[in-house]
Amino acid sequence: MTWSEMQPLLRDACLDTLFMVWWSTVYAVVGGLPLGILLVLTDRGGLLRNALVNKVLGAVLNLGRSLPFIILIVWLIPFSRFVVGTSIGPSAAVVALALGAIPFFARLVETAIREVDHGLVEAVQAMGGGTWTIIFKVLLPQALPSLIAGLTTTVITLIGYSAMAGAVGGGGLGNLAITYGYQRREDTLMNVTIVLLIVIVTVVQLAGDFAVRRLAARGGRQAPAAGLRRLLPAQRKPATATTAPATAAPEAVSDSVPASAPEKAV
Amino acid sequence: MITTSGLTKVYRSRGREFTALGGVDLHVREGEVYGVVGQSGAGKSTLIRCVNLLERPTSGTVTVAGQDLTALAGRGPRASAELRRARSRIGMVFQHFNLLSSRTVQDNVELPLEILGLARRERERKALELLDLVGLADKARNYPGQLSGGQKQRVGIARALAGDPKVLLSDESTSALDPETTRSILQLLRDLNRQLGLTVLLITHEMDVVKTICDSAALMKSGRIVESGTVAELLATPGSELAAELFPVGGEPSGPNRTVVDVTFHGEAATQPVVSQLARTYNIDISILGAAMDTVGGRQIGRMRIELPGRFEENVVPIGFLREQGLQVDVADVNTPAPAAAPAEEGAK
């Protein structure tokens, strides 16, 4: 197979992968962020403590997370067909990817939100803030670096999942690697696909790290969760801690996190 | 200004009960600085958190500025709108400052104003005014992470004042600070108390805090207030534990045939240099064994342990002289060893 033959295949597969990852990320955030917050708020000692909601929600999220993704995607074939009218192709894969990613991201959101110092919540309660104020002015802004780190992890996981979706007809780079690279023994194509995946993952990770670092530079704030910190290598203590970064507006972040950034309109 | 009556708080977990507050009646007058002291676990923190209902009392009532807050609390864990409005008029400062690291100093001070729904212009003006009041106008654009502990607490105080409160609650606000910073923060609280007529209820485990700024104090032990009153009243109470801790005196007599006398200075009378007057009038040598004195507004407050030569019988007249000056005089029992002079310093955690 020549390079000119490969090029359109690769381009289409890349676009399919990005399509799947982008939309499933959007759904993961739209679904996972509120669920993660709700999970913390309804927990014992939370603002909206409600044992029943908490238990049920926790059980559903665990169910979603305990299924191996390849099983989930097969299991969801009828549902995908119901939602998008087909069980193959990127659109069908988005359904399964989103449903797989929502519990994943929700748990990361839960960890990030839980990490916010309860004293801050109390301080805002003491000044008369209600639950919405606490969510939008305390929990989300304070957890933002951890949330971004969690989002980065989610996107990278989705890139991996999308390749798996390719195995069952989802399209994208995974599909290309399986059908051409593996079944038709196109080693070059296989290698190019792998390199492309590595490049995409690296770019996402670097972008996420950059955003977290920018946020962390705001006056030596606390580092993200221990669990997430492992995923963010070599970013401790930026040297800019003493020079006031008055222009730390998270513009680099705002397009990757549609749900949580808007209120910081400096 | 702040009144609690029959306040109890019982924590239940797995069938076991723990009484954090066992019926607390507290009365804080308008415009005074009231200190609640006690050891860790005595319930001071629960008490102050019950005052703005961050902690829901099990029974009893809390009235702040004439408003019964316990009546405003809804039944669920969520605070009713009326309670939230009442809270916005009660400032609170915390031991660990509780500033949002994601916001600048100015934005932190603006937060309560955002909750109150003030327009942006107005918020900005007010926040800068408050920062100026606490001496941090130049740090408005910094993030809390760039400030020292004392500066952070100043921001915390500015934030607490944003809602124009009549009452300020201070939950161990100086316990995380070094002694010098503690003094400057206490000075600031004192100034605010005087300038704005702010009523301050503070809890602390440091006796020095009470001594420095409190008009009144209460001692808490295992969920109850065991002593309370103005500092002068406490001093005048014989055997007051709080007075003894606020003004600890000690010292052993230098030999046999001595009379050891504890003199308590408080109120109007304590303006005269009585010790030298006593020495001159009766031509006796007086040794000062120990003293814990402060002079506030030209008036001496505190206690002093002095030794007069001779037995008690020989010193009836000089002791009468001291009593005539309006001082409280207790003859210390020489045989029992005096209590340790230093108050238990459990502060530095």
**From the first residue on, what is the mean pLDDT of each consecutive set of 10 residues in chain B (349 residues)?**
93 87 93 93 92 92 92 79 92 95 95 95 96 94 93 96 94 92 94 94 91 91 92 82 84 82 76 82 88 73 86 87 84 56 43
> Residue A25: which domain range?
3-232
In a domain, A261, yes or no: no
Partner-chain contact A218 B101, CB within 8 Å: yes
Q: What is the pLDDT of residues A156-195, one digit of tens each?
A: 999 989 888 877 777 888 888 888 888 888 888 999 999 9
Partner-chain contact A117 B98, CB within 8 Å: yes
Confirm if A140 and A260 have CB atoms less than 8 A apart: yes
- Choosing among A127, A140, A215, A257, which should be mutated to test the B contact, i.e. which has the most B CBs within 10 A? A127
Partner-chain contact B116 A48, CB within 8 Å: no
Number of domains in chain B: 2
Lowest mean pLDDT across A92-101, A249-258, B206-215: A249-258
In a domain, B341, yes or no: no
Give the model's pLDDT for residue B58. Answer: 92
Q: What is the dihedral of CA B153, B154, B157, B162, to 10 degrees?
A: -130
pLDDT reading at A12 higher than 60: yes
In a domain, A256, yes or no: no
Tell me the nearest-neighbour CA distance from B136 into chain A, angstroms.
Answer: 15
Higher-scoring residue by pLDDT: B140, A227: B140
B280 contacts: CB under 8 Å, gap ≥ 6 = none
Confirm if B303 and B263 have CB atoms less than 8 A apart: yes
pLDDT reading at A240 higher than 60: no
Q: How many contacts, defined by CB atoms under 8 Å, are there between A and B? A: 99
Residue B328 to residue B326: CA distance in whole angstroms: 7
Identify whether residues B207 and B254 lie together within a single domain. no
Give the mean pLDDT of A252-258. 41
A26 contacts: CB under 8 Å, gap ≥ 6 = A258
Residue B250 to residue B289: CA distance in whole angstroms: 7
Identify whether residues B152 and B51 lie together within a single domain. yes
Residue B160 to residue B200: CA distance in whole angstroms: 12
* CATH number of the domain to which B187 belongs: 3.40.50.300
Partner-chain contact A222 B114, CB within 8 Å: no
Q: What is the pLDDT of residues A197-220, one digit of tens each?
A: 999 999 999 999 999 998 887 755
| B164 lies within 8 A of chain A by CB | no
Identify whether residues B227 and B256 lie together within a single domain. no
Q: Which residue of B has its CA nearest to A143?
A: B102
| B236 lies within 8 A of chain A by CB | no
| B118 lies within 8 A of chain A by CB | no
Q: At what angle do helices B149-160 and B179-196 cross, to 10 degrees?
A: 20
Partner-chain contact B100 A126, CB within 8 Å: no
Q: Which residues of chain B have a CB within 8 Å of the CB of A219?
A: 101, 142-146
Q: Which two tokens mark B24? A: 């607390």
Partner-chain contact A218 B111, CB within 8 Å: no
| Count of C-beta atoms within a 10 Å radius of residue A68 | 10
Partner-chain contact B143 A141, CB within 8 Å: no
Residue B74 to residue B85: CA distance in whole angstroms: 13
Q: Report the run of H or E that residue B7 belongs to, with start and end.
A: strand B2-13
* CATH number of the domain to which B261 belongs: 3.30.70.260
Q: Which residues of chain A have a CB within 8 Å of the CB of B116?
A: 128
> Residue B315: which domain range?
247-331
Partner-chain contact A123 B96, CB within 8 Å: no
Closest CA to B135 of B158, B117, B115: B158
- Where a domain ends, among B201, B236, B271? B236
| B292 lies within 8 A of chain A by CB | no
In a domain, B348, yes or no: no
Residue B221 to residue A172: CA distance in whole angstroms: 69
Closest CA to B39 of B193, B229, B133, B172: B172
Partner-chain contact A123 B94, CB within 8 Å: yes
Q: Which residues of chain A have a CB within 8 Å of the CB of B78?
A: 47-48, 130-131
Q: Which residues of chain B have a CB within 8 Å of the CB of A244?
A: 141-143, 146
Identify whether residues B100 and B230 lie together within a single domain. yes
Partner-chain contact B145 A244, CB within 8 Å: no
Give the model's pLDDT for residue B255. Answer: 78
B319 contacts: CB under 8 Å, gap ≥ 6 = B259, B261, B308, B329, B331
Partner-chain contact A126 B162, CB within 8 Å: no
For A242, the closest of B79, B146, B162 (CB atoms) is: B146
Lowest mean pLDDT across A11-20, A69-78, B155-164: A69-78
Q: Which two tokens mark B151? A: 């500066």
Here the ipTM equals 0.82
Closest CA to B90 of B56, B58, B117, B67: B67
* CATH number of the domain to which A137 belongs: 1.10.3720.10
Number of domains in chain A: 1
pLDDT reading at A75 higher than 50: yes
DSSP state of B55: S
Closest CA to A181 of A191, A170, A190: A190
Higher-scoring residue by pLDDT: A66, A155: A155
Identify whether residues B290 and B150 lie together within a single domain. no
Identify whether residues B226 and B255 lie together within a single domain. no
In a domain, A241, yes or no: no
Identify whether residues B207 and B313 lie together within a single domain. no
| Count of C-beta atoms within a 10 Å radius of residue B66 | 7
Rg for chain A, CA atoms, rounded: 20
| Torsion region of A232: left, alpha or beta (phi above 0 gives left; psi -120 to 50 gives alpha) | beta
Q: Which two tokens mark A73? A: 């995607």
Partner-chain contact A126 B52, CB within 8 Å: yes
| B312 lies within 8 A of chain A by CB | no
How many alpha carbons lie under 13 Å from residue A131 in its C-beta half-sphere? 14
Buried b (16+ CB within 10 A) or exposed e, B156-167: bbbbbbbbebbb
Residue B208 to residue B346: CA distance in whole angstroms: 12
Residue B287's φ and ψ, nearest 5 degrees, are: -105, 140
pLDDT reading at A248 higher than 90: no
Identify whether residues B87 and B160 lie together within a single domain. yes
Give the model's pLDDT for residue B41. Answer: 86
Give the model's pLDDT for residue A143. Answer: 95
In a domain, B55, yes or no: yes
Interface of chain A toward chain B, CB-CB under 8 angstroms: 47-49, 117, 119-120, 122-131, 133, 137-138, 141-142, 144, 215, 218-222, 241-242, 244, 246
Q: Report the run of H or E that residue B262 belongs to, with start and end.
A: strand B258-265
| B183 lies within 8 A of chain A by CB | no
Q: Which residues of chain A have a CB within 8 Å of the CB of B101?
A: 142, 218-219, 221-222
In a domain, A258, yes or no: no
Q: How far is CA A7 from the centre of its chain?
A: 29
For B77, the closest of A49, A120, A222 (CB atoms) is: A49
- Give the max Cα distance, chain B: 76
In a domain, A240, yes or no: no
In a domain, B241, yes or no: no
In a domain, A93, yes or no: yes
In a domain, A257, yes or no: no
Partner-chain contact B144 A128, CB within 8 Å: no
For A129, the closest of B115, B142, B162 (CB atoms) is: B115
In a domain, A70, yes or no: yes
Give the model's pLDDT for residue B269. Answer: 61
Q: Which residues of chain A have a CB within 8 Å of the CB of B112?
A: 127-128
